[in-house]
Amino acid sequence: MRIAYLHSGSIPSVYANGVHVMRMCDALTDAGHEVVLHALAGTAPADDIHAYYGTRNRFEVRTLAQPAVPGLGRWIRAWRVRTELRRRGAPDLLYGRDPYTLLACSDLAPVAYETHLLWPRWGVRAVERLLLRRRNLRRVVFVSQALADDYRAAFPELTALRHADLVTAHDCADPVPADGPVAPLPGREGALQIGYVGHLYPGRGTDVILELAEHLPDADFHLVGGTTTDRAHWQDRCRQPNVYFHGHHPPAELAPYYRAFDIVLAPYQRRAYCVGGVGEISRWVSPMKLFEYMSYGKAVIASDLPVLREVLADGVNCLLCPPDSVADWAKAVKRLAEDAALREALGAEARRQLTEQYTWRARADRVLPAVQAATGPGSR
């Protein structure tokens, strides 16, 4: 199929949504589809977008700015994307996380809408409600079962849909080679290396990690990621000499860090937010870093949140702790520090589950609806 992936964020960027979208386009291309990604212009420096993200395929990425017109900018851009799609020939499928552009283009091809949060703004929900009524809608994809349940409560019409399927598909990661370069971490030789990879937004547990470092002075803690502003915020508040901030790195450069860690942390709090504080996502989150931890066979300690239990099982593929109990997190770290066999067993089971259930390639097959390919440009 020829798939137009419609994304409302920028490519490249320092944000996780860009990683998700590029991984999905890569997997769809692996599956034999012709993919064109339509996104906003990048906000991160990168001479080569595909090298920045480490994709296997060089699918086309087309960027189009959003006019700075209050209340109308999204619609103007959506109409421009529509014009471009018509000029290039309608695709076989419109897929994406941009409800505005999907709605504007929904008469051109079948539509699959993916959502990662229940939007708090009434304007976005109004657009979604119109999109759900479109006869060309074929599938709605939710990133967690908790999100699917809340959407059904917020949009009762979902239960009566006859023209579209509802699918839950968690985030994923690609299996990685066991061997490879290992990052030369600062700190003490022989100390337990504990890592966190991801953003430093409110609710991501950065404060828990700093307190944990104070409780466990014999271990070294490494935080990889975060915007310049967020990193400076936490560095100014950090007094522990065993904490190291590594800042943002392109997704293609993260593998050596994952390999260097003995234990990895996912300390999501009971309230967690997207960039800029837009959207409280703790009920629905399906963090990519969790799956990336699993792909490297690392021993994971994660917050015991209902949505994470959709994937995680305490003592099976991770250890789970109350989100805000530093004492419990310290006990979990000490337990793994003293039991290398347990670290190995948890990591191996996590990697096995990742490989069998949570790869991007498998997700690509799961989320795509069955649609009939057009015979050529302009065939609709």
CATH code, 319 = 3.40.50.2000
If asked whether residues 155 and 219 sit together in one domain, one would say no
What is the residue range of 52's domain?
2-172+360-367
Unique residue bearing structure tokens 């409800």: 99
If asked whether residues 275 and 196 sit together in one domain, one would say yes
Q: Which CA distances in Å does 2 have to 58, 88, 147?
A: 15, 11, 29
If asked whether residues 210 and 159 sit together in one domain, one would say no
* pLDDT for the residue 45: 76
User: Is the pLDDT assigned to residue 339 strictly greater than 80?
Assistant: yes
Instruction: Tell me the sheet residues that pair with 93.
Output: 3
In a domain, 376, yes or no: no
* pLDDT for the residue 47: 86
In a domain, 62, yes or no: yes
Q: Using 50, 70 and 90 to split pLDDT, how confident is the model at 177?
A: confident
In a domain, 200, yes or no: yes
Please tell me which residue, 178 or 230, carries the higher pLDDT value: 230
User: Is the pLDDT assigned to residue 374 strictly greater than 80?
Assistant: no
If asked whether residues 122 and 231 sit together in one domain, one would say no
* pLDDT for the residue 376: 43
- Mean pLDDT calculated for residue range 322-338: 97
- Mean pLDDT calculated for residue range 168-188: 94
Q: Using 50, 70 and 90 to split pLDDT, how confident is the model at 96?
A: very high
If asked whether residues 61 and 89 sit together in one domain, one would say yes
* pLDDT for the residue 202: 82
In a domain, 92, yes or no: yes
Return all residues near 67 (Cβ < 8 A) that are at least 6 apart: 73, 76, 77
d(CA 325, CA 336): 17
If asked whether residues 150 and 249 sit together in one domain, one would say no
In a domain, 373, yes or no: no
If asked whether residues 82 and 121 sit together in one domain, one would say yes
Length of the chain: 380
In a domain, 375, yes or no: no
If asked whether residues 167 and 304 sit together in one domain, one would say no
If asked whether residues 65 and 213 sit together in one domain, one would say no
Give percent of the chain with pLDDT exceeding 70. 95
User: Is the pLDDT assigned to residue 275 strictly greater than 90?
Assistant: no
Q: Using 50, 70 and 90 to split pLDDT, how confident is the model at 19?
A: very high
Unique residue bearing structure tokens 């009566």: 160
Q: What rounded mean pLDDT belongs to the chain? A: 93
* pLDDT for the residue 378: 39
Single pTM value for the model: 0.93
* pLDDT for the residue 273: 60
User: Is the pLDDT assigned to residue 373 strictly greater than 70?
Assistant: no
If asked whether residues 94 and 140 sit together in one domain, one would say yes
- Mean pLDDT calculated for residue range 315-320: 98
d(CA 300, CA 319): 6
Q: What is the pLDDT of residues 124-162, one digit of tens each?
A: 999 999 999 999 999 999 999 999 999 999 999 998 888
User: Is the pLDDT assigned to residue 377 strictly greater than 80?
Assistant: no
In a domain, 177, yes or no: no
Q: Which CA distances in Å does 242 have to 66, 236, 239, 334?
A: 43, 15, 9, 16
What is the residue type of 237? R
d(CA 205, CA 207): 5
Please, are residues 243 and 210 in contact by the beta-carbon 8 Å criterion? yes
Give me the number of domains the chain comprises. 2
If asked whether residues 242 and 320 sit together in one domain, one would say yes
Q: What is the pLDDT of residues 179-226, one digit of tens each?
A: 899 999 999 999 999 999 999 988 889 999 999 999 999 999 999 999
Q: Using 50, 70 and 90 to split pLDDT, how confident is the model at 280?
A: low
In a domain, 187, yes or no: no
Please, are residues 193 and 187 in contact by the beta-carbon 8 Å criterion? yes
If asked whether residues 66 and 121 sit together in one domain, one would say yes
Q: What is the pLDDT of residues 56-89, one digit of tens each?
A: 999 999 999 999 998 899 999 999 999 999 999 9
Q: Which CA distances in Å does 371 have to 74, 98, 102, 136, 380?
A: 28, 20, 16, 10, 13
